[in-house]
Amino acid sequence: MLRLDLQFFSGEKTEKATPHKRREARKKGQVAKSMEVSSALTLLLCFSYLMIAGQSFIEGCMNIFKRSFSEYMLWELSIDNTKLLFTQLLWETVKLVGPLFGVAMVAGLIANYMQVGFMINTEALKMKLEKINPISGFKRLFSLRSLVELIKSILKMSIVGGIAFWVVWRQMDELLKIGNKSIWDAARFIGSLAIQIGMVVAILLIVLAAADYLYQKFDHEKKLRMSKQDIKDEYKKMEGDPFIKGQRRAKQRQMAMNRMISEVPTADVVITNPTHFAVAIRYDFDTMAAPEVIAKGQDHVALKIKEIAKEHKIMTVENKPLARSLFASCEIGDTIPEELFNAVGEILAYVYFQEGRYKEMKS
């Protein structure tokens, strides 16, 4: 019963997402992002631009109307004149609204960079059949996210409508006198009214966008949560199964030990503890500057080294302090430390004398 309970709780997504899970989600385009931030910032920067360049914008519109009624209307209707008229009107319109579109594009780029940084992702462009699944669509329609989006839309419409009504109501007297104004004054008044509405709406929408971004971040983190079992599975996938990894390490150790054991027959002497440690020493006066440790082992490995030495008639010398010192201070392939030269040299001289070999030793 306890085991079933542990399995149940191990499946609950209570753990924060790992860095690997976050990177995979980002590759798929799954990031914490609020569209309201882009809308609010675009609205704010566009109306800020209109506050600065609004007069020139209105003058440009008026010039297009003036030229249309005073010049273009007098042209003869022909294919060439129509092409020229279309080209000129298009160019005037581009010069007029181009900077505004540029500001909107820059605002969108800034808003996206602030939220997710630099990211180019084509995952969203791929065709996915589950997107047109009516059952999945029905579930999305009545999900918590849909409810939040509905509340957000109602709140935005209420804010925009309320602010527009408030600004217009304050200027109601001037608005009723607009018929007595010139075209230029009326256009300037309407433009000023629109900019006031836009700026106040943009500022309030930024507050709403900040709250929406926090919700999107919370929802994103909730979706990325992992269970303890998910983390274990991810670790196995990234690092390999611990059992297989352990087997691989054991195999590597076995191969290393086999290589070491194969070197024992070339040793000159094996220095032992006598049972706990064994260190095989080799020395060639012509090619080596100092004696070299070619094999060493502890407990059962030490016994194996001594067995190999006995089979190949290699002399074994018992010296407990020296065997311990060599085992602790030397790795396989290392030359013996300088402070142990004399002790090892005496043993090698003794071995060479016993075997009838006479080599000059350098201490």
Contacts of 111 (CB under 8 A, 6+ apart): 37, 38, 41, 42
- Asked if the structure places residue 240 within a domain, the reply is no
Same domain, 82 and 139: yes
Domain co-membership, 133 together with 84: yes
Tell the burial category of 22 from Cβ atoms under 10 Å away from its Cβ (0-12, 13-18, 19+). middle
User: Does residue 103 belong to any structural domain of this protein?
Assistant: yes
**Separation of alpha carbons 95 and 358, rounded Å:** 102
Decide: 336 and 291 in contact? Cβ < 8 Å: yes
> 269 - beta bridge partners?
281
3 state SS of 293: strand
Same domain? 342 vs 199: no
Together in a domain, 80 and 179: yes
80 in helix, strand or coil?
Answer: helix
Last residue of a domain, one of 225, 252, 276: 225
Per the domain annotation, does 299 fall within a domain? yes
Q: Can you give the pLDDT at residue 125?
A: 59
Q: SS in 3 state form for 295-329?
A: EEEECHHHHHHHHHHHHCCCCEEECHHHHHHHHHH
Q: Are residues 213 and 273 in the same domain?
A: no
Claim to verify: residue 165 and residue 286 sit in the same structural domain: no
The mean of the pLDDT values for the chain is 78
Ranges in the chain, pLDDT < 50: 1-10, 359-363
Whether 276 is in a domain gets the answer yes
Q: Which amino acid is at 58?
A: I
Looking at the structure, tell me whether residues 60 and 151 fall in a common domain: yes
How many Cα neighbours within 13 Å face the side chain of 187?
14
CATH number (domain holding residue 311):
3.40.1690.10
Contacts of 336 (CB under 8 A, 6+ apart): 281, 290, 291, 292, 293, 326, 330, 344
Cα–Cα distance measured from residue 249 to residue 252, given in angstroms and rounded to the nearest whole number = 5
H or E element: which one contains 292?
A: strand 292-298
CA 62, 64, 68, 70 torsion-angle sign: positive
Whether residues 51 and 180 fall in one domain: yes
Is 219 in the same domain as 286? no
Q: Given the structure tokens 């611990």, which residue do they identify?
A: 242
Q: Do 85 and 205 reside in the same domain of the chain?
A: yes
In the DSSP assignment, the letter for residue 171 is T
Q: pLDDT by residue (tens digit) across 90-135?
A: 888 888 888 888 888 998 888 888 887 777 666 655 666 555 666 6
Q: Is 175 exposed, middle or buried (0-12, 13-18, 19+ CB in 10 A)?
A: middle
Place of tokens 């900019």: 195
**Residue 273 and residue 203 share a domain:** no
Instruction: Establish if 20 belongs to a structural domain.
Output: no
282 membership: H or E segment, kind and range:
strand 277-282
The whole domain housing 86 covers: 31-121+129-225
Residue 237, token pair as written in the block: 């996938």
Tell me whether residue 302 is in a domain. yes
Do the domain assignments include residue 8? no
Q: Are residues 109 and 44 in the same domain?
A: yes
Q: Give the total number of structural domains in the chain.
A: 2
7 located within any domain: no
The pLDDT assigned to 7 comes to 44
Q: What are the residue ranges of helices labelled H in the chain?
A: 2-10, 19-27, 35-70, 79-116, 134-141, 144-170, 172-176, 183-224, 228-239, 242-263, 300-311, 320-329, 341-354
Nearest-angstrom CA–CA distance, 95 and 97 = 6
Residues 200, 44: Cα–Cα separation, whole Å: 9
